[in-house]
């Protein structure tokens, strides 16, 4: 008996929620970024689970695109963080609040 799809969906919901909790709680901007990657992975797992459930390859192709875009996003995001660090000497998101009055 194979594992029912609802188990995979529940697992990916748990991973996604842990990612959201991390983004809301942590102050180190790199760790926040890693929690975003965790959320993307949870979503990938959902797509692949549905691809298996419906017997179509579209879910897997979409995951491929998500991974490619995630790679591009990580590169640009880390470049922004490096530029931020060079100017502000901090990576605490509580400190980066220049636009507030």
Cβ neighbors of 21 (< 8 A, separation 6 or more) are 35
Told to check if 96 binds other proteins by CB under 8 A, we report no
Q: How near is the Cβ of 98 to other proteins at its closest, in Å? A: 18
Of 64 and 101, CB closest to other proteins: 64
Dihedral sign computed on CA atoms, order 19, 23, 25, 26: positive
| Residues between 35 and 94 that touch other proteins (CB under 8 A) | 35, 37-38, 41, 44-45, 48-49, 51-58, 60-61, 63-65, 67-76, 78-83, 85-86, 90-92
Q: How far is the CB of 99 from other proteins (least distance, A)?
A: 19
What is the Rg, in whole angstroms, of the alpha carbon atoms belonging to the chain?
17
> Whole-angstrom Cα distance, residue 36 to residue 20?
8
């Amino acid at each position: 008996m194979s594992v029912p799809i609802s188990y995979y969906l529940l697992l990916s919901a748990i991973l996604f929620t842990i990612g959201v909790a991390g983004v809301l709680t942590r102050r180190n901007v790199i760790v926040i970024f890693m929690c975003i990657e965790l959320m993307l992975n949870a979503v990938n797992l959902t797509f692949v689970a549905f691809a298996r459930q419906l017997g179509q390859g579209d879910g897997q192709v979409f995951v491929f695109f998500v991974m490619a875009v995630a790679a591009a996003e990580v590169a640009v995001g880390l470049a922004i963080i490096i530029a931020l660090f060079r100017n502000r000497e901090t990576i605490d998101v509580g400190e980066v609040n220049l636009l507030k009055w």
